[in-house]
Amino acid sequence: MDLAGDAGAVLVSRDFKDAAYAQVGAVAERKSHKVMAGVALAKGTTIRASLTHLEGGNVLVGTQADGEGYALVGRDSLAQSRYILAKDRGKPVSDAALMAAVAHDLGIKPQHVVAVEQPGDFHLDMHMMPVAPGEVMVNDPVAAQQLSEQWERADHLRKKPAAPRAGASAATVETYNSDLAFWKELGQDAERNFKEAAARAQKQATAEERSIRDLEKAGIKVHRVPAVFGPRHAPQANFINAEQGTNPKGERFYIALGGDPRAERVFVEALAAIKPGIARIHFLDRDITMSTLVAGGGISCRTKAEGAL
C-alpha cells in the first residue's frame, strides 16, 4: 500500500476494500508508548523518538543465513510512516527515503528492511514467526480449518445418543428420539459453519500468499504450519503469536498460548520438524486463550523478551 497524503487514503480505501482499517493504529490508541517511556525512565534508559510509526507487532526481526540482521515490516506500517514523514517534511517521500528512515529506527541496513503485505486482518506477528536464520514460519489457515473440522466432526459423533435397549419404556424412547433430533440439528448447524469457516480460511490464505510472495522475493525460506485456529472474532488458538529464546543453559524455548490438545500436538510436531533442538515448548492455560486474544492479543503482543549480553 502507498499512502503519501489524504488523496492517497481515498485511493487505498478504493483499491484495497478488504483491508481491516478499523485495526490500523489500534495499538497506538492504547497509548502503550507512554507505558514504555515510563519503563525507560524508571530504568534510567535514554528515550529516543523514532522517525517512523512502526507498531511492534508489525515488525519481526531475524537473522539472515549470512548472520546479517533483517526486519520484516508490514506494509500498513510503511504506509503510515510514509504519510507521517511526508507531512513532517512537507514533500513526498520516496521509497528509498522511507526505507532509510525505517532502517535508521531499527538499527539495520536499508536493504535489510523487507516490506511484507499484511497477512489479512492485522499485524505480521499474528500469522508468521522467524524460526531460523533466513527462515520464517507462516500460518496455514486452510490446513488449520480442515483439522478443526475433522476434530469437531469426531467430537460430535462421540456425543450421538445411545439407542435404548429393546423393551425400553415409552418415556425412554421419547427422550431418545428428542435427544437424537437435537443431535442431528447440531450436526446440520456444524456443517453450515464448516462451509463458512472454509470460505474464511480460503480468504485468509489468499492474503497470506501475498505475504509469502514478499518473503520469498527477499530470499527467505517459508514453512507453512497450521498454527492459528478459529476465526478472528472467536479465536481458539494462536501458537504463532509467541515468544522464543535461549535460557541461561543455552537451551532453546518457545512459549505460546494454549489450545485444543490435538492442535498443540500438531503444532509441536510441525515446529520440531522445522526447528529441531527446542528443549521446551510451553503452552499457557488454554482456558484463557480466547479472552486473551480478544482483549489484547497473544504472547508476542503482550510481552517482549528481555536479555543481557
pLDDT along the chain (309 residues), means of 10: 46 57 61 80 86 89 88 92 92 94 94 91 88 93 95 96 94 96 96 93 92 95 93 78 87 91 94 84 90 80 62
Looking at residue 4, its pLDDT comes to 43
110 with 131, same domain? Answer: no
- Given 198, 215, 231, the domain boundary residue is 198
β-bridge partners, 282: 255
Per-residue CA distances from 73 to 31, 60, 118, 212, 240 (Å): 21, 7, 9, 13, 17
19 with 100, same domain? Answer: yes
103 with 59, same domain? Answer: yes
207 with 266, same domain? Answer: yes
pTM score, whole prediction: 0.83
133 with 238, same domain? Answer: yes
Looking at residue 97, its pLDDT comes to 95
225 with 267, same domain? Answer: yes
138 with 168, same domain? Answer: no
Per-residue CA distances from 57 to 41, 98, 200, 274 (Å): 23, 19, 22, 23
Please state at what angle helix 95-106 crosses helix 75-89, rounded to 10 degrees. 100
Per-residue CA distances from 229 to 167, 290, 297 (Å): 45, 11, 14
Task: Indicate the number of domains in the chain.
Answer: 3
103 with 243, same domain? Answer: no
SS3 283: strand
The boundaries of the domain holding residue 170 are 147-198
